[in-house]
Homo-oligomer: A and B are copies of this chain.
Amino acid sequence: MKTKPGLSIIKIGGNIIDNEQLLSEFLTDFSELKGHKILVHGGGKKASEIAEKLGLKPCFSNGRRITDEAMLDVAVMTYSGLLNKQIVAQLQQFGTNSIGFSGADGNLIQSEKRKNTEIDFGFVGDVIQVNNKLISALLVQNCIPVFSAITHDGKGQLLNTNADTIAAEIAISLSEEYEVELIYCFEKKGVLLNSEDDDSVIEVLDFEKYQTLKNEQTIHSGMLPKLENCFKSLNNGVHTIVIGNQKTLKNKAAATQIKL
């Protein structure tokens, strides 16, 4: 079997994006990372901050936050505009030839508006297709794609989409051609055994252990969809998954490795 080239896909969350110093340190490390790479970023607190300044009221349906048209506009402006271009400009400064994308650009990530009989989530999209051909063509030309968490439905509608899921779907799609390493950087050093103890990092988390910890409710709330994304990715060809903080690029051993 021919060896596939390596590809690192790194997703960063709000804690890094919201902190100028952390973001700059992370982007320096990202620039120094060898080989093919892709960055996926969320939006942090900036979108809520701008929405509030614009006088928008958060919108809920049955207790669930929904993305109405005004909030979608703020998400597009903030994620695909301000944050994406600031990240790209900083990477250019470090000599990393990055290009910022929404899923509409080059039809890179197509999604469909979430269907739910009980709740209308508004302009939220679930990924249905990744244009891996164009992403590959860019990687071959040493362009580094930087994805914001906005996709489109192919019918002219932009959609707000979970950044963890975007990272996972890109990873799955590109694992046909690449040996993909997916790294989630968030506010903790890894998946914790005790959410009160930042040093209780689980070194290796496999599916069986995950099931046990989930049933015990040791792992709960926001970690559940993140880990479901991870296991789905591993089951669909992604080679390696690591969950840690912004220092993980430099020190993977301190983070949590997810295994089947």
Contacts and interface: CB of A to CB of B under 8 A. Distances in A.
Interface in A89-131: 89-90, 92-93, 97-102, 104-107
B54 A86 contact: no
A37 interface: no
A143 B138 CA distance: 12
A204 interface: no
A92 B107 contact: yes
A156 B104 contact: no
Contact of A97 (B73, B80, B93, B107): B107
Contacts of A88: 102, 104-105, 152
Interface string A129-154: 00000100100010100000010101
Contact of A92 (B82, B89, B104): B104
Stoichiometry, as copies per complex, reads 2
Interface string A9-41: 000000000000000000000000000000000
Contact of A50 (B54, B80, B104): B54
Given A97-B107, A99-B105, A85 B89 contact: no
A89 to B, nearest CB: 4
A93 B155 contact: yes
A109 to B, nearest CB: 11
Contacts of A222: none
B106 A156 contact: no
A77 interface: yes
A76 interface: yes
Contact of A156 (B92, B97, B102, B141): B92
A88 B158 CA distance: 10
B86 A77 contact: no
A98 B156 CA distance: 12
Given A50-B54, A92-B152, 4 more contacts: A77-B78, A85-B150, A90-B156, A98-B105
